[in-house]
Amino acid sequence: LSAKSKEEVTDGQLFPDCRDQKNEGGVFIFPFGQPEYQGCSILFSRKSFGCGSSREHAAWALKAWGIKAIVAESFEDIFAGNCASNGIPCVTAPIDIIDNFAYFNEKTPGQIEAVIGLEDLTLQITDMELVIKVGMDPIQRQIVLTGKTSWDVLKADAETVDRFYKSLLA
């Protein structure tokens, strides 16, 4: 494996092994291959999303594909941090909301509109006339909202970091 820069990662590297698979009827099995989902920018998933995808390449490929946010029951921490550093918020929602979204989305693939409000941490699914509170790691939220990296956040509170470091040495 060779290291790749952010600019070298393309949308063609997002789930290439399963994205292009078709069933016997010639229909794409994986939603990313289905024409109805082209242009969708919010990815809905279940628990532990990003598990095994802790390298930044995963976030880069999602961003190159056009994913602007991810909603899941839970996330792998390093993956969610890499997404935040690349401007992709990872917000948590109850599984029943995700399942209901999936059910209605199967009826009209790629047609349901969802909006994430990072300021008030809400998920609005307009077709279902639903607004719910979502969760997001506060530091990752700050990174996405401000564009500052985790290093910038740490530097901004250098006194607290220094006190913590000194307490470890004591």
Percent of the chain residues topping a pLDDT of 90: 44
Q: Minimum mean pLDDT among 12-26, 73-87, 95-109: which range? A: 12-26
DSSP character string of 11-60: GGGSSHHHHT-B-TTS-BSSGGGSGGGTT--EEE--TTBTTT--SHHHHH
Mean pLDDT for the chain overall: 85
Flag whether the pTM goes above 0.75.
yes
Give the model's confidence band at 152: pLDDT under 50 very low, under 70 low, under 90 confident, else very high.
confident
Q: Do the beta carbons of residue 68 and residue 44 sit within 8 Å? A: no
pLDDT digits (tens, 9 = 90+) for 63-100: 988 899 999 999 999 999 999 999 999 999 999 999 98
